[in-house]
Structure formats: structure tokens, C-alpha cells
């Protein structure tokens, strides 16, 4: 293979890899924006239901984003359902510990109570 062909092949490879990277960045940013929008809406819903302060609302929104990303990674992993469920439960416990730090006891109790009812409401619907 001549030097000219090697340079062309290297250039083509660079363009393809660059395109792939840009596509991944675009998809990631689009998904991140969607997650942020949804988290913002959820935090506002919780603000109304629980009477959160603006600081609590901001912290809850950040927590929703953080743990939604973690849960999505767990769900999309190629592991057995048993391990996925275990990891989701552990992640939920960590999320509750973090949330409990900035919510009052009454707010946290209401938050957990509503979260426990959601799966049943979805099944009944």
C-alpha cells in the first residue's frame, strides 16, 4: 500500500470516528435535555404536593436527574433480571437516604408514600 493510500485511509477513518463521536454527543445532549425537562416538571409537582422550599426543589431536581441516569444505566445493562432488580433496589435506597437529608420528616414520609402507590396506580390503569 502506498503512502498516499495510507494517508487517505487514515483520513477516512478519522472522519468516520469523528462523525460517530459527534452523533453520540448529540444523542447524549438530547437525552440529557429530556431528562432535565422531565426532572424539572417532577420537582415542580413535588413542590406543590409537599410544600417544598425553592432550595429543596432544586436539590430534589438534581437528585431526580442523578438517579434517573443511574437507573437507566442499570436497566439498559446486559445482566440478568435478578441483578438488575437488586441494583435498582440498592439505588432506590441510596436515593431515599439522599432525599431524606433535605426533606423534613413529614415531607419524606409523604414522598415515600406517594412513590409506593405509583406502581399500583399504573397496574390498575
> Which residue shows C-alpha cell 436497566?
75
pLDDT of residue 3: 78
Pick 77 or 117 by higher pLDDT. 77
Q: What is the dihedral of CA 25, 27, 32, 35, to 10 degrees?
A: -170
Domain ranges of the chain: 33-124
Please name the helix (run of DSSP H) or strand (run of DSSP E) that holds residue 16, with its range, or none. Answer: helix 3-50
pLDDT of residue 118: 61
Q: Pull the grid cell for residue 25.
A: 454527543
Decide if 64 contacts 39 (C-beta within 8 A).
yes
Percent of the chain with pLDDT over 90: 42
pLDDT-derived band at 86 (thresholds 50, 70, 90) equals: very high
Contacts of 61 (CB under 8 A, 6+ apart): 39, 40, 42, 43
Amino acid at each position: 500500500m502506498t503512502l498516499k493510500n495510507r494517508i487517505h485511509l487514515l483520513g477516512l477513518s478519522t472522519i468516520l470516528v469523528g462523525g460517530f463521536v459527534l452523533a453520540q454527543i448529540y444523542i447524549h445532549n438530547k437525552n440529557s435535555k429530556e431528562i432535565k425537562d422531565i426532572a424539572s416538571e417532577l420537582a415542580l409537582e413535588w413542590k406543590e404536593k409537599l410544600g417544598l422550599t425553592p432550595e429543596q426543589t432544586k436539590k430534589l431536581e438534581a437528585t431526580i436527574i442523578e438517579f434517573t441516569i443511574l437507573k437507566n444505566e442499570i436497566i439498559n445493562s446486559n445482566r440478568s433480571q435478578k441483578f438488575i432488580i437488586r441494583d435498582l433496589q440498592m439505588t432506590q435506597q441510596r436515593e431515599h437516604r439522599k432525599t431524606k437529608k433535605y426533606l423534613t420528616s413529614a415531607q419524606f414520609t409523604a414522598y415515600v408514600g406517594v412513590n409506593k402507590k405509583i406502581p399500583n396506580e399504573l397496574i390498575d390503569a
